[in-house]
Structures are given as structure tokens and as C-alpha cells.
Structure 1
Amino acid sequence: MNIFRPLITAAALACATGAVQAQATLTPAPQNVVTLESSGTVEVQQDVLVLTLGTAKEGKDAATVQTQLRQALDTALAEVRKTAEPKLMDVRTGNFSLSPRYGQNQQITGWQGRAELVLEGRDFPRITGAAARATTLTISRVAFDLSREQRESVEGEAQQQAIARFKEQAGRLSTNFGFGGYSLREVAVHSSQSGPGLQPRMMAMEARGASMPDAPIPVEAGKASVTVTVTGSVQMR
């Protein structure tokens, strides 16, 4: 009896597995299911200025070029930190690079480097004024963005628009196909942001002007669009 028991057990498991597979195969695919997509978009004023200052140096000696970059950066940092304040004007260092310059026969003939300082915040006059006083660096890039608070405040409105349109589509299609209503099967919500200020706008290195080297440059933010997209499927019934 003990000899045949494992064989009986194995056979029973095989039968049970086969029954489950057969049942899964026989389960009908969902019927009267439609996939939908809707979106809501809200336009909002950009409220964050991202201003990049930089300087480039070159010379025959790497250590000398690096020292010049550090001195220019340290001097600018000391100046802009005087008026730095969280969210109004945050200060951080940007790119710092040093690379060889090659001549004939791939021989190193000198070195070139670049250092950057980034000012970011909501107080535009404070930022442009600090940049103007940092005379060891010049303005290389200006960009605008949305603060997290500004983006979240309009995401809710855009989401309401997208959901309302999704429900309206689902109800209309259900009616048009002759059904009395629908039930939600699955849904996904995604948000995105677009606007001219998200792509940095290059500025001339002479942006301050020769006659007024310490004058703040004029800046004006544009508008960004926050879009929320709702995708999903509904069961018409």
C-alpha cells in the first residue's frame, strides 16, 4: 500500500492542476469593455527664476586655470550669499570642469575650464540684483519654472477636469451603445508640465552691457501648462 500511495497522490495533483487549467481556459474574455483617455490642462504663471552665472578660463597650466576658476567662483559666492534666503533666492554651485586643449600630434597645448553658479527662487529682483553684483561671473543662462506649491495648486484643478471628461465619455459611449450605465475597471492618472521657460534660454555673455556692468537684467516669466491625463477602461452594463 505504501508503495502505490505516492503514485496516487501525484496522479491526483495532476488531475487537479489539469482541472484548474481547463477552467482558466474556459473563462470567457471580458465583454463590452472600452478603453478611454481624457485630459485636463490649466495654464499658470511661472513663479521661479533659475539664473546661471559662469566664467571660462584658459591657460597653459592646469593648476593655474583651476585656481582662477575657484577665485572667480569664491568671490561671486561671497557676494550673492549676502542676500540669499530660502525659496526667495537659493544659491548652489553648478558645473565645474577642466579639460586639456590639444594641438598637433595630439599634444596638450593648454587647459580650459568653466565654473558655474546657480541662483534660483521666487524673488526675481533679488536674484537679478545679486547676479549683477557678482562681477567675476557673467550670465550664461536664464530659465523659468513652477514652484512645487504652484504646480500642486493647479494639478488638482486639471485632475478634476480630466476625471469629469473621462466620466462624461464613459457615460456617453455606454448610452450610444445601448447600455444603461458602466462600472470602472481600472484607471491611471499622470501629470506633465510644459512651457517656454522649461527650456533654458541662452543669454549673451555681454548681457549686463558695457555701460552699466552692475545693472540687473530685465526678466519676465511666461506661462506653463500643467496637464493631467486619465487613462483606463470601463465595463458597459
Structure 2
Amino acid sequence: MSVLKKPFTAIAAAIALCATSLGALADEPRYNQVSLRAEVSQEVAHDLMHVTLFTEGQANDPTKLAAETTSAMNAAVEQARKVKGVTVSLGSRNSYPVYDDKGQKITAWRERAELRLESTDFAALSQLTADLLGKLKMGSMNFSIADATRAKNEDAMMKGAVDAFKARAQVLTDALGGKGYKLVSLNLNTSGAPRPMPVMRMAAMKADSYGGAPAQEIEAGTSQVTVSADGTIEVQMP
């Protein structure tokens, strides 16, 4: 029997310790948890220009067509690389057969290849685009905020988002009749919504009209950058 006393003694001690802990918790002030959100927004000017140009052709001989496409793209890439501050990359390239009216016999092949250009120097890229439109066709032109610019603005806005969260937390605490609050969790999130851009007139013009033509004036627009603070507070009641 003396051997069995030790386990029972340990269990009794554990129960006593648990009861003591529960008693201590009962003495702590009670809190009500509330989730809330605050955000700050700012218009940021686009400082990065994106242009997609393409070549597209059709021929009976797919090998000859591929060679012509490659030649056109190589010439465009070589010309684009000479412009300082412009990032050059190749986009998608695909070819597919063209069938007769009955859809049974291949009558020709079509091939399309893209050239993508990007720069913070709008004037240089706009002039390059005008020059290349004598050889390629316009696919798209759009604008965005450069990663470094976005990060700089978001960092500056984070303090404002936190301050707005704290102010709202205090308003809620006062509305609930609390005597204070403590922060349980807080998450900061960022987002940006680009503004609609006008359709570029150059996309509708014939490519052969660009021989030596001046570059189009650029209106890059803005995006609204938002930093939000989502979190939970515990309001201490009297």
C-alpha cells in the first residue's frame, strides 16, 4: 500500500496546483475582444512604361515563315538594345496552321512573335516605339508603379495606417465604456488599383506612317496605393 501512496500524492498535488491557477485567472480583469480595420490611401504617379510590339505573318512554307519572323525580331531587338535605359525581352511566340473552308487541308501557316519593352524613361521608350512601328505592330502600351517606388511609398504610409488603427481602437474603447485596451494582433496589408488608361491612338494607325514620325506625348496616370491595418484588441471593462 505504501507504494501506491506516491502516485495518489502526485495527482492530489497537481489538482491543487490547477485549482490555484484557476483562482489566479479569476482574479484577472476580463477583456472583450473586438476586430477592426483602418487604412490610408495615396495617389502615386506611374513611373514605369510597358510596351508590347509584335510581328505576324502568313506563308505556305512554315520554315520560311519562321526564318522571316526570327529575322524581324532579331533586327528589332538589336535596335532596341541600343537605347539606354530600356529593358528588352521576348514575349510569346507561336505558329499555327490555316485550313481550307472544309477544315481538312492546311493551306498556309501563321506565326506571331512578341517583343516587350520596359523603361522609366518615357521619352526614350516612346521614341523607340515610334521607330519600331515601321517594322512591328503595336500590341499594347500601359503604365505601372516601379517596385522600388511602390515600396518607398508603402513604407511611408505604414505609420499612418498604424496611427489610424490606434485612433479607431481608442474610439471603440470609449464607445464600449472601457477603461483601456491592449493589442492582441495586427496585420499590415498593401494594395494598389491602377486607373483606367486612355486608348493609345498609335495602335490604330498604319505602321508605315511612322517613318521618322515624332514620339507620342505620354500621360501615364496614377494608381491608388493603400496600406491597411487589420487587427484585434481586447477592451478592458471597468
Normalised by the size of structure 1, how large is the TM-score? Answer: 0.79
| Structure 1 partner of 2:67 | 67
| Distance verdict in 2 for CA 1:188–1:201, change over 3 Å | farther
| Structure 1 partner of 2:109 | 111
| Structure 1 partner of 2:176 | 177
**C-alpha contact (below 8 Å) 1:174/1:181 kept by paired residues:** yes
Q: Distance in 2 between matches of 1:202 and 1:108?
A: 36
| Distance verdict in 2 for CA 1:210–1:58, change over 3 Å | closer
Q: Distance in 1 between matches of 2:113 and 2:170?
A: 58
Q: Distance in 1 between matches of 2:37 and 2:164?
A: 9
- 1:102 Cα offset (Å): 2.9
Q: Distance in 1 between matches of 2:209 and 2:65?
A: 28
Number of aligned positions between the proteins: 217
- 1:211 Cα offset (Å): 4.2
Q: Distance in 2 between matches of 1:44 and 1:203?
A: 25
Query: Percent identity at matched positions?
Result: 27
Q: Distance in 2 between matches of 1:200 and 1:98?
A: 31
Q: Distance in 1 between matches of 2:123 and 2:142?
A: 15
| Structure 2 partner of 1:42 | 42
| Structure 1 partner of 2:211 | 213
Q: Distance in 1 between matches of 2:115 and 2:192?
A: 25
Matches within 5 A, 1:186-201: 186-196=185-195
Q: Which has the larger radius of gyration?
A: 2
**C-alpha contact (below 8 Å) 2:48/2:143 kept by paired residues:** yes
Unaligned residue ranges in structure 1 (runs of 5+): none
| Equivalent in 95, 100, 117 of residue 98 of structure 1 | 95
Question: RMSD of aligned C-alpha atoms?
Answer: 3.1
Unaligned residue ranges in structure 2 (runs of 5+): none
Structure 1 stretches of 4+ with a deviation exceeding 3 A read: 199-212
Aligned partner of 1:94: which letter?
A: G
Q: Does 1:52 pair with 2:52?
A: yes
| Distance verdict in 2 for CA 1:200–1:43, change over 3 Å | same
